[in-house]
């Protein structure tokens, strides 16, 4: 991608913020909660997709940075009295720093080795959250006190929504610019061919390290967002299930596309809520259906739902002579 984000997309960000301010006055807590949850997942998934979809690094450490973001933001607030507006950026920055430290050895690894090493890191982090009683309250879970933003208490869905909408808009806007930059193109080039990337002057290792770092930053921010509308964190929620959920959002929606990731977040976030209407006896099949959806999505939508949508749109736009018809010109030889 290149250039600047289209004005329409930037306007959509404005609309998102507007909705964040208006909806709390219109909807019951339940919808606000689901909305906040979706916005948090959006930040989390956008971050994972930078690594997975844009840079092509199959890394699983994301969930650890998310957990770190939650605990760090909450503990900075509770233990040191550092307000959210400072605490969350600090937490996210430290998450990014850990991401950088992980990336230095991890970028030497490929494919299965990278996937397993980063997964192992995530498991180790979860173990630390569960075992480090004196700081995280361990398996009892941590009750978080409500954060303050410029002296204004947040902690319920109503008050948190505008703040979360602003954070998502900022992160989304940053992503829009990021993918349209030299760095964003370097991510894609590394994903498609490290050889071509290196031969084009891209420092492959540095690019990967940056992708890890930025991705960890997003996860840290998502963790900070969690503290805005939730009041309790437990290590059990920071395990493989949440990771697979975010991964599924990306894959079903369409990895390596912002629209696809958002679509995936929306679909998989709303799906369990929509399933509430299903007959009770069928609920037990959810896990089975979840696996089936994953398999079918991978089989029939290699580019995710977004890929299907884009493909349709493109085909519509391609009424007229197909570009293959352009002939190869035969240049005259120099004498």
Partner 1 sequence: MSALFELRDVTMRFGGLTALNRFSMQVEAGSIHALIGPNGAGKSTVFNCVSRFCMPQRGEIFFDSRPLLAEPAHRIVQLGIARTFQNIEQLHRMTVLETVLVGLTSRTPRYFSFAPGATRARAERRAVEEAEEILSQTALIGFRDTLAGELDFGRQKLLDLARALASRPRLLLLDEPAAGLRNREISFVDSILVNLARERGITIVLVEHVMQLVMSVADRVTVLSFGEKLAEGAPSAIRADSKVVEAYLGSEAAHA
Partner 2 sequence: MTIGMKRLAGALALGIAAAGVAVTAKAQTPPGVTSNEIVIGLFGPLSGPLVAYGVDPLNAAKMVYDEVNARGGIHGRRIRLVIEDDKCNGNELVGVVKKLVTVDNVFILHGGSCTAAIAAAQEYVLREKVPFVMLNAAGDNAVFPATRYMFGSFQGTQRVYGSALAQFAVKDLKAKRVAIIVHDDDYGKANLAAAKAVVERLGGQVVAQERIPPAIADITAPVLNLRASKPDAILSGAYPAPAVLLAQKYGEFGMTAIPLLQSTQGMPTPSVYAKNVGNPDALKNLYHTWSFNDIADEALHKKWVDMYKKYYPDREPGPFMVTGIPSALAVVDTLQRMGRDLTREKFVEAMEKLNLKSDVMTGPLQFGPGRRDALRSVVVVKFDGKTQKVMPGIFAWNGKDGN
Partner 3 sequence: MSLVLQGVASGVVTGCVYALVALSLVIVYKATDVVNFAGGELVMIGAYLGLLLLLWFQLPYIAMFALVPVAVFAVGALFDRITLRKVGGRALAKHVDLVSFVVATIGLSYLLKGAVRVVPFTEEVRRLPPLFSGPPVFIGDVVLQRQDLAIIAVTTMIMLALWLFFERTLLGKALRATSQNARAAALVGVPVSAMRMAVWGLASAIAGIAGVLLAPKLLMTPDMGAVVMLAFAAAIIGGFSSLPGCVVGGIALGVIQNLVGIFISPQAIAVTPFFVIMLVLLFRPEGLFGESLALKKV
Q: Which does 2 bind (CB under 5 to 8 A by kind): partner 1, partner 2, partner 3, none?
A: partner 1
| Residue 110: contacted member of partner 2, partner 1, partner 3, none (CB under 5 to 8 Å, by partner type) | partner 3
CB nearer to partner 2: pick between 145 and 200: 145
Contact with partner 3 (CB under 8 A): which of 33, 41, 54, 58?
58
For residue 304, give Cα distances in angstroms to 42, 107, 187, 256, 259.
16, 27, 20, 10, 11
Measure Cα distances from 139 to 175, 180, 238, 295, 302 in Å: 35, 43, 12, 34, 39
Q: Which is nearer to partner 1, 281 or 323 (CB)?
A: 323
Q: Compare residues 140 and 203 and give the one whose CB is closer to partner 2.
A: 140
Of the candidates 43, 42, 5, 12, which has an alpha carbon nearest to the alpha carbon of residue 214?
43
**Minimal distance in Å, beta carbon 136 to partner 2?**
12
How buried is 332 (Cβ within 10 angstroms: 0-12 exposed, 13-18 middle, 19+ buried)? exposed
Pairing relation of β-strands 148-149 and 232-233? unpaired
Contact 224, 95 (CB under 8 A): no
> DSSP alpha helices (H): ranges in 50-156?
62-80, 84-106, 111-131, 133-136
Residues 136-175 that bind partner 3 (CB under 8 A): none
Alpha-carbon gap, residue 103 to 205, rounded angstroms:
9
212 touching partner 3, by CB under 8 A: no
Given 231, 292, 313, 318, the residue binding partner 2 (CB under 8 A): 231
Sites of contact with partner 2 (CB under 8 A): 8, 11-12, 15, 19, 22-23, 25-31, 33-34, 37, 130-131, 138-141, 143, 155-157, 230-232, 234, 236-237, 241, 272-273, 275-276, 280, 283-287
Sites of contact with partner 3 (CB under 8 A): 52, 56, 58, 105, 108-113, 115-117, 119-121, 123-124, 127, 131, 191-193, 195, 244, 247-248, 251, 255, 284-295, 298-299, 302
């Amino acid at each position: 991608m290149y250039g600047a984000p289209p004005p329409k997309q930037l306007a959509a960000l404005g609309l998102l913020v507007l909705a964040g301010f208006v909806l709390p006055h219109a909807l019951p807590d339940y919808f606000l909660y689901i909305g906040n949850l979706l916005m948090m997942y959006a930040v989390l998934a956008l971050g994972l997709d930078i690594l997975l979809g844009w840079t092509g690094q199959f890394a699983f450490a994301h969930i650890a940075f998310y957990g770190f973001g939650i605990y760090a933001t909450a503990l900075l607030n509770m233990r040191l009295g550092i307000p959210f507006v400072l605490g969350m950026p600090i937490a996210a920055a430290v998450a990014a720093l850990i991401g950088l430290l992980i990336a230095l050895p991890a970028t030497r690894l490929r494919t299965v080795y990278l996937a397993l090493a980063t997964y192992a890191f995530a498991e180790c982090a979860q173990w630390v959250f569960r075992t480090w009683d004196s700081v995280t309250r361990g398996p009892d879970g941590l009750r978080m006190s409500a954060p303050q933003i410029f002296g204004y208490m947040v902690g319920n869905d109503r008050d948190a929504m505008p703040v979360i909408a602003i954070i998502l808009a900022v992160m989304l806007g940053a992503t829009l610019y990021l993918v349209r930059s030299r760095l964003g193109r370097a991510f894609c080039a590394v994903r498609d061919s490290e050889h071509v990337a290196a031969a084009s002057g891209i420092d492959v290792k540095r690019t990967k390290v940056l992708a890890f770092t930025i991705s960890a930053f997003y996860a840290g921010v998502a963790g900070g967002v969690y503290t805005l509308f939730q009041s309790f964190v437990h290590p059990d929620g920071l395990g493989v299930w949440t990771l697979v959920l975010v991964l599924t959002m990306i894959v079903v929606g369409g990895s390596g596309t912002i629209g696809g990731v958002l679509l995936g977040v929306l679909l998989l976030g709303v799906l369990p809520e929509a399933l509430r209407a299903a007959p009770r006896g069928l609920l037990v099949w959810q896990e089975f259906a979840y696996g089936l959806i994953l398999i079918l999505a991978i089989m029939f939508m290699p580019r995710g739902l977004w890929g299907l949508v884009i493909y349709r749109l493109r085909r519509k736009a391609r009424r007229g002579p197909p570009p293959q018809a352009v002939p190869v010109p035969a240049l005259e030889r120099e004498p």
